[in-house]
Amino acid sequence: MKKALYPGSFDPITNGHVDILERAAKLFDVVEVAILKNPSKDPLFTVEERIEMIKEIFKGKRNIIVSSFSGLLVDYAKKSGSNVIIRGLRAISDFEYEFQMALMNFKLSPEIEIIFMMPRVEYSFLSSKLVKEIYSLGGRLPDLVPPPVDRALVNKFHDF
């Protein structure tokens, strides 16, 4: 069985993430969305809230599973039985950071492959940070986030 890991904070998950996940799910038997528990970040949504949103979005998709982890990504990949890590690239600005991380992960665990996937062009500018900022300022982006995320953001910031 070919299993891939798609790690990130997903705070919140956007349609750009969904696009990459759905396409990856066609390439692998199982894709595990792995939410990083990062104590240095102050997330808008708890890990549990993010897990529930992602499970709701992919309800019925048996080959997409959701988990959380802390520590080194390559250690978690080995523990979860994944030898492939998927990373999204939106723009050239993402490349330098992701390239450095991929090389370091390869140094730590050369048996784990890193695959870069680009979202469709309509999501190439989209980030969780930007989505949170728009909603916090009274805006809304229901065509750029899945419905469960839109509802959760509206509940966090305001009622429309």
- The answer to whether position 148 is within a domain reads no
Q: Name the pTM for this structure.
A: 0.93
| Mean pLDDT, the chain, integer | 94
Burial class of residue 51, CB neighbours in 10 A (0-12, 13-18, 19+): middle
- The answer to whether position 142 is within a domain reads no
Query: 89: domain CATH number?
Result: 3.40.50.620
pLDDT in tens, 21-30: 999 999 999 9
Catalytic residue at 140?
no
- The answer to whether position 30 is within a domain reads yes
Instruction: Check pLDDT > 60 for residue 160.
Output: no
Range with top average pLDDT, 30-34, 41-45, 99-103: 30-34
**Helices then strands (H, E): number in the chain?**
6, 5
Catalytic residue at 40?
no
The residues, ordered by sequence, that sit 6+ positions from 151 with a Cβ below 8 Å of its Cβ are none
Out of 50, 82, 87, 128, the active site residue is 128
Residues 42-46, mean pLDDT to the nearest whole number = 94
Out of 2, 37, 41, 79, the active site residue is 41
- The answer to whether position 149 is within a domain reads no
Instruction: Check pLDDT > 80 for residue 93.
Output: no
* Number of domains, the chain: 1
Q: Residue 5's beta-bridge partner residues?
A: 32, 85
Residues 81-103, mean pLDDT to the nearest whole number = 91
Out of 3, 23, 55, 90, the active site residue is 90
For position 3, what pLDDT does the model report?
A: 97
Instruction: Check pLDDT > 80 for residue 1.
Output: no
Instruction: Check pLDDT > 80 for residue 148.
Output: yes
